A and B are shown apart, each in its own frame.
Chain A
Amino acid sequence: MSIETQHSGGGTWARTSGLAAVRGFGLALVALPGAVLCLVLSLVSIALIPIGVGIVTTPWVLTGVRAFADWRRVVAAEWGGVRIASAYRPLPANANPWGRTFGMLGDPATWRDLRWLPVDMTAGFLTALLPAVLLLYPVEGLALAAGLWRAFPDGYWYAFVPVTGQASAFGAGALALVLLLLFRLLPAPVLRAHFRLTRALLTPSQGELAERVRVLTETRQDAVDTSAAELRRIERDLHDGAQARLVAMGMDLGTIELLLDKDPQKAKELLAQARKSSVDALAELRDLVRGIHPPVLAERGLGDAVRALALRLPLPAEVTVELPGRADAPVESAAYFAVSEVLTNAVKHADAQRLWIDLHHKDGTLRISVTDDGKGGAVIGAGSGLAGVERRLGTFDGVLAVSSPAGGPTMVTMEIPCALS
């Protein structure tokens, strides 16, 4: 939801600039008192820590500051298309006021918020107000020309035009028209500059980069562990399954060779057994391949692989796919197995009658949602399959969200940032 500047045709600039002016004006009205209040309360509260009162009030005040900053992040994204990352450290769930206070004060994000507040109440306020001014000033000139000049009998300066009578008022009106033409496109960029300023001050820096590195290290460790476990499973399955069956088959064939003349009847029986062994070995290999990289996924990509998956479910499932290309093989594979796990969960635990699966790609993100009409109550937690899915997606910076009120329905949403080719 960004400001629309792409439209062509008469009148759109007026709407765009007008919208920017109104939004900027509203923003300025709220931002100034908001920032002043937040800064004053924060400073007072922090100053009161030595006498104990601050310990109780600081977490409340800082939470308020965060809410204010987060609200501005949302506004920047919705009105200016400027995304600002929010990276506050999570606090322990049941920390005491002491722990909360110093936990929050130890977060670089807190200090970044506090540095941002004075800038927001000055430069931020001005850049938010400017779009309105840029539109209102020409309006003032037109108003003077229309007769407002009579309210100033002692003369009035409109920019460099001294307004003393109707003639000079028309001059001011002409200047206003020129200014209007000059400035008509400015309000929207100025408002966006305001959001960029906010971003410059609120964007996470070094500390958050360190945090990011920590998350990456963790997910990489998960990925390495998972793939090592997967390799062990494959090795074991091959060793105990297909390989053993082929050995048995070889032995049977050897015996058959011996029996062929002596006991043709027995040889025939063994032949049947050998053939059965080979069929079983193939079936096991097939299952193994499906577990590593499903054939339809390799042949057709994610959309059809999920369709094929849905066809194998014991319940009716509706699949909608809007993918204009294919993602990288590892991403496809992670997404496929994530969907597969979520579907298995839905079939096993949700008591569902029907499933809906939706896959689409938008703004560089692959979004998958799986909805069922079951009894709900699913949670991401230790031991649940969903935690595994979350780890799997984490390797690709993907996220998992579950909405599952008791009584249903359950909706599992997955997002993986990726490009399609």
Chain B
Amino acid sequence: MRVVLAEDLFLLRDGLVRLLEAHDFEIAAAVESGPELTRALAELEPDVAVVDVRLPPTHTDEGLQCALTARRARPGLPVLVLSQHVEQLYARELLADGTGGVGYLLKDRVFDAAQFVDAVHRVAAGGTAMDPQVIQQLLTRRAAADQPLGRLTPRELEVLELMAQGRSNAAIAGQLVVTERAIAKHTSNIFAKLDLEVSDDDNRRVLAVLAYLDQGR
């Protein structure tokens, strides 16, 4: 699987290259600025891009903007955005086009190599990987302001959270150490309680969750 990597700090770029190569990714290009990233994405047609939000020359949200532009040119281009901080605002922008294949994670998440690599694979396959911190913010916010989430049991809230991060039923079952059947039951309960259509597609599940969380704004 070919990866284009954009990160301006040498140490981190080097570390990410080694980490990804150790997990059998092929690094098509490792760049350090916005214009280079744009060029690499257009010319190399990678399977997935791993992009730092803040890149030179502007040192603002250049990485995110490049990724969004590239996705407009090539819809569904899988992009995993890494950042020192996570903001719902950026998460919404990434998810906005609804085509999936996006991820938005704190840089800290690379500490857990297995989970990070899993996230890259998920994004490359058209799924999503949202940082737990984004989901947590959304959930506390809605729990305080809205009734429907209050109807969920603590276990169902737990499942909803993992689901919103972009995990499949199998992965959730693994993490919570229960059977996949149990998770399937929980998810259908959640959809029923939240009046959402049931869907087996991971990506559509996140969008559904986010769409629900957007209601009442």
- Chain B 49-62 per-residue mask, 1 if CB under 8 angstroms from chain A, else 0: 00001100000110
Residue of B nearest to A308 (CB): B89
Q: B85 contacts A290, CB within 8 Å?
A: yes
Within the complex, what minimum Cβ distance (angstroms) separates B69 from chain A?
16
Residue of B nearest to A278 (CB): B111
Q: Determine which residue in A282, A299, A304, A318 has the highest number of CB atoms from chain B within 10 A of its CB, and name it.
A: A299
Q: A312 contacts B88, CB within 8 Å?
A: yes
Interface residues of B in 37-66 (CB under 8 A from A): 53-54, 60-61
- For residue A196, CB closer than 8 A to chain B, the reply is no
Q: How many A-B residue pairs have CB under 8 A?
A: 51
Within the complex, what minimum Cβ distance (angstroms) separates B169 from chain A?
28
Partner pick for A282 among B54, B89, B108, CB 8 A cutoff: B108
Within the complex, what minimum Cβ distance (angstroms) separates B33 from chain A?
16
Binds A, one of B71-79, B139-147, B175-183, B201-209: B139-147
- For residue A313, CB closer than 8 A to chain B, the reply is yes
Cβ–Cβ < 8 Å partners of A311 in chain B? 87-89, 137, 141
Interface residues of A in 236-288 (CB under 8 A from B): 275, 278-279, 282-283, 286
Residue of B nearest to A353 (CB): B145
Taken together as a complex, chains A and B put the C-alpha atoms of A311 and B84 apart, in Å, by 18
**Residues in B lying within 8 Å of A, measured CB to CB:** 53-54, 60-61, 83-85, 87-89, 107-108, 111, 137, 140-141, 144-145, 216-217
Main secondary structure of the interface of A (DSSP, over half): helix
Q: A298 contacts B145, CB within 8 Å?
A: no
Q: A299 contacts B61, CB within 8 Å?
A: yes
13 A-B contacts (beta carbon < 8 Å):
A275-B111, A279-B111, A290-B85, A295-B85, A295-B87, A298-B60, A300-B89, A312-B137, A313-B141, A314-B140, A314-B144, A314-B145, A316-B145
Report if A308-B88 is in contact (Cβ < 8 Å); known contacts: A299-B53, A313-B141: yes
Taken together as a complex, chains A and B put the C-alpha atoms of A250 and B107 apart, in Å, by 21
Residue of B nearest to A304 (CB): B89
Cβ–Cβ < 8 Å partners of B53 in chain A? 299
Partner pick for B85 among A275, A289, A313, A315, CB 8 A cutoff: A289
Within the complex, what minimum Cβ distance (angstroms) separates A275 from chain B?
6
